Structure 1
Amino acid sequence: MTDACTVTVSASGVEAFRVDVGQTFRITDPEGGQVGDLFAFAAEDPEEWLSASHTRAAVSRLFPKPGEQFFTTRRRPILTFRQDHSPGRHDMLIAACDSARYVTLGQPGHASCARNLFTGLARCGIYPRAVPQPVNVFMDVLPGTTGDLTWTPASTSPGDFVAFEAAIDCVVVLSACPQDLAPVNHGGPTPLVVTLGNGASPQQPPAFDRVC
């Protein structure tokens, strides 16, 4: 990536950023073992967003692989999966953790990816009515032959990364998943790093909280 800028997503935190069509971004796990909940919304209409269920129907796969695209609720490509320098485990089955989930785990008020989504989008002046199912990068959940799910802590090593390209202008939200009560993150929540690049120096609109 040339003319790149870097944004650190703090442990259990969130960042939202605009990615224009043709622009790429990379998500790096600097310490290893950390899951990121990735959301994407069409910049022209945030009522259209990346849909894991529509993507599964389009690509006939449970889990993403490089070269494939992610599709929106209107069945349009929104992101293309360009590179995967990780063990290749990325979940598209599990909902974002939320307040109700942590109540069931005995920790009401715990930070969550659902709350992070609303926080990140509010910085951009976007207020969604629902929480889409994210693409859970680096998250390792596999179905068994009888349909049961096996949850395994993320197996990424320090410096592992994935890269995506925007198929349309979009607003991307990345939550460094705060889950520490289920076997998702390995060793507790840690930061993630987003690198924006691809040609022209990326700038975010004034409504964004962070400008590269």
Structure 2
Amino acid sequence: MPTERDVIPATRGKAVRLAAGEAVRVVNTHGSQVVDTWAFCAEDLAHHMSMEHTRVENGRLMPAAGQTLFTNRREPILVLEEDTSPGIHDTLMAACDRWRYEHLGCTEYHRNCADNMVEAMAAIGLSADRVPQPLNLFMNIPVNADLSLTQGEPVTKPGDHVLLRAARDCVVVFSACPQDITPINGAGRKPTEAHVELLR
């Protein structure tokens, strides 16, 4: 099966088109980079991958290898076919945006995943009317006994990957999260690039 390898630049986004049956491997190249991930149905961008619906359909807080990711109309869009990481991903946190960084004390513009999604889609000629809740690949958000949430460090290692296979024609968008204030991207708080490998 032919493979195309491409980079998700540090603090930037990347969008790819997948036909039904094609797949994309998302590689945590340096081991601590969170990759926000969205998927939109090719024929209707208002029909998109939904974490709240995926949690209900799978009965899990985060998807496991072999499980399906569902849309806001409860239809399959991607299958998490492989996962060589410890399987810790986040389905609770909204994509970081300019307001998130303002709340963290930034007084100037900070790169963010919401804008990365918009820019990556624009680069392939598309525009969605919203930024849905992403699947935050490799993000570690422990739920504590008192139900509080911790901004944890990733538990992945360099080269860990997930393989997402398209259940339908779709557009998949990735953001190498720019977070450098909390330890979301590791103790060093330094965003890095990640890679995608398209299996056509």
TM category (shorter chain) comes to over 0.9
Q: What is residue 111 of structure 1 aligned with on the other side?
A: 111
Q: What is residue 12 of structure 2 aligned with on the other side?
A: 13
Secondary structure of 1:162's counterpart equals strand
Q: What is residue 31 of structure 2 aligned with on the other side?
A: 32
Tell me which of 186, 193, 196 is aligned to 1:191: 193
Q: TM-score, normalised by structure 1?
A: 0.91
Cα distance in 1 between the residues matched to 2:127 and 2:163: 27
| Percent identity of equivalent pairs | 43
Q: What is residue 210 of structure 1 aligned with on the other side?
A: none
Cα distance in 2 between the residues matched to 1:65 and 1:32: 19
Q: What is residue 132 of structure 2 aligned with on the other side?
A: 132
Shift of 1:125: 2.0
Q: TM-score, normalised by structure 2?
A: 0.96
Cα distance in 2 between the residues matched to 1:176 and 1:189: 7
Q: Which residue identity does 2:48 align to in structure 1?
A: W
Superposition map of 1:61-140 within 5 A? 61-107=60-106, 108-140=108-140
Superposition map of 1:36-47 within 5 A? 36-47=35-46
Cα distance in 2 between the residues matched to 1:58 and 1:193: 29
Which runs of 4 or more aligned residues in structure 1 lie more than 4 Å from their structure 2 counterparts after TM superposition?
Answer: none
Cα distance in 2 between the residues matched to 1:126 and 1:78: 18
Instruction: Name stretches of at least 5 consecutive residues in structure 2 with no aligned partner.
Output: none
Secondary structure of 2:156's counterpart equals coil
Instruction: Name stretches of at least 5 consecutive residues in structure 1 with no aligned partner.
Output: 203-212
Secondary structure of 2:191's counterpart equals coil
What count of residue pairs does the alignment treat as equivalent? Answer: 197
Cα distance in 2 between the residues matched to 1:105 and 1:88: 28
Q: Which residue identity does 1:105 align to in structure 2?
A: L
Root mean square deviation of aligned Cα: 0.9
